[in-house]
């Protein structure tokens, strides 16, 4: 079964609190998405494998650690995941980036795919799939279906806010995926929005409403 890690770090809780406030500006909201993503990624990357590497300091030869293997790939779900990816790339600037375009049909709440572009060697990489909101779970499940259909198996999902309904749906659909959550909220409303939530993440990042 999936591990679900809900972050308890005070910085994450503080910053998500500011994001929830409807009076927070687009500019500040956008910066906070990247900052909180970076902090969640710090936890989500904790168990990456390390390998030894021989180097020389200015004084002596020594052995240091580096992240093992073909390394990392960040995959934002468009649109709102893009700014999470920006934050993560501050910490691991050499990670490759894939993009998955999905939006929710406003009536059915079913995800609609419109774009997918992934690095050619993505199956050899640890994939960090990112989207600020896990509501019904439909978008995250569809994105992981899509990644698995392309032969990708090492996937972690990172979000800022999750509804219990979305966590359950994602755990049931993909029990092998670990889920990293900034804050777990109370429930979905009748329109599939997370309560108390922060509203529509894409609209708040881009100022489209």
Catalytic residues: 104, 108, 200, 203
Which residue of 76, 87, 137, 197 would you call a contact of ligand PRP, by CB under 6 A? Answer: 137
Q: Is position 103 an interface residue for ligand URA (rule: CB under 6 A)?
A: no
Strand positions, DSSP E, the chain: 4-6, 50-56, 61-67, 72-78, 96-97, 99-104, 111-117, 126-130, 133-134, 155-162, 178-184, 187-188, 194-195
Residues 139-198 that bind ligand PRP (CB under 6 A): 139, 166, 192
Indicate the residue among 45 and 136 with the shorter CB distance to ligand URA: 136
Instruction: Provide the total of helices (H) and of strands (E) in the chain, helices listed first.
Output: 6, 13
Indicate the residue whose CB is closest to ligand PRP: 202
Per DSSP, 123 falls in state: G
Select from ligand PRP, ligand URA, none the partner in contact with residue 194, using the beta carbon and a kind-dependent cut-off of 5 to 8 Å.
Answer: ligand URA
Taking CB under 6 A as the binding criterion, the range among 113-121, 141-149, 167-175, 186-194 that sits at the site for ligand URA is 186-194
Q: Is position 79 an interface residue for ligand PRP (rule: CB under 6 A)?
A: yes
Query: Residue 111 and residue 95: Cα distance in Å, rounded?
Result: 27
Q: Is position 30 an interface residue for ligand PRP (rule: CB under 6 A)?
A: no
Select from ligand PRP, ligand URA, none the partner in contact with residue 4, using the beta carbon and a kind-dependent cut-off of 5 to 8 Å.
Answer: none
Cβ-contact 40, 160 below 8 angstroms: yes
- Is the C-alpha dihedral spanning 14, 86, 46, 2 positive or negative? positive
Q: In whole angstroms, how far apart are CA 152 and each of 50, 53, 55, 183, 206?
A: 21, 27, 32, 27, 30
Task: Identify the CA nearest to 161 among candidates 136, 138, 182.
Answer: 182
Residues 1-60 that bind ligand URA (CB under 6 A): none
Q: Is position 202 an interface residue for ligand PRP (rule: CB under 6 A)?
A: yes
Q: Is position 200 an interface residue for ligand URA (rule: CB under 6 A)?
A: yes
Which residue of 19, 102, 133, 144 would you call a contact of ligand URA, by CB under 6 A? Answer: 133
Select from ligand URA, ligand PRP, none the partner in contact with residue 182, using the beta carbon and a kind-dependent cut-off of 5 to 8 Å.
Answer: none
Cβ-Cβ contacts under 8 Å for 30 (sequence gap 6 or more): 83, 205
* Contacts with ligand URA, residue ranges (CB under 6 A): 133, 135, 192-194, 197, 200-202
């Amino acid at each position: 079964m999936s591990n679900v890690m809900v972050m308890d770090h005070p910085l994450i809780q503080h910053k998500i609190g500011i994001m929830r406030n409807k009076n927070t500006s687009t500019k500040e909201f956008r910066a906070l998405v990247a900052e909180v993503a970076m902090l969640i990624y710090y936890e989500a990357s904790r168990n990456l494998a390390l390998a030894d590497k021989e180097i020389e300091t200015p004084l002596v030869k020594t052995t240091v650690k580096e992240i093992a293997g073909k390394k990392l790939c960040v995959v934002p779900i468009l649109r709102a995941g893009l700014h999470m990816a920006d934050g993560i790339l501050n910490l691991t600037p050499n990670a490759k980036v894939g993009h998955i375009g999905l939006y929710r049909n406003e009536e059915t709440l079913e995800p609609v795919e419109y774009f997918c572009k992934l690095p050619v060697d993505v199956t050899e990489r640890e994939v960090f799939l990112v989207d600020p909101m896990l509501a019904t779970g439909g978008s995250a499940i569809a994105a992981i279906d899509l990644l698995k259909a392309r032969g990708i198996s090492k996937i972690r999902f990172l979000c800022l806010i999750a509804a219990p309904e979305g966590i359950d749906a994602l755990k049931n659909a993909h029990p092998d995926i670990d889920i990293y959550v900034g804050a777990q909220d109370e429930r979905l409303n009748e329109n599939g929005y997370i309560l108390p939530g922060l509203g529509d993440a894409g609209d708040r990042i881009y100022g489209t409403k």
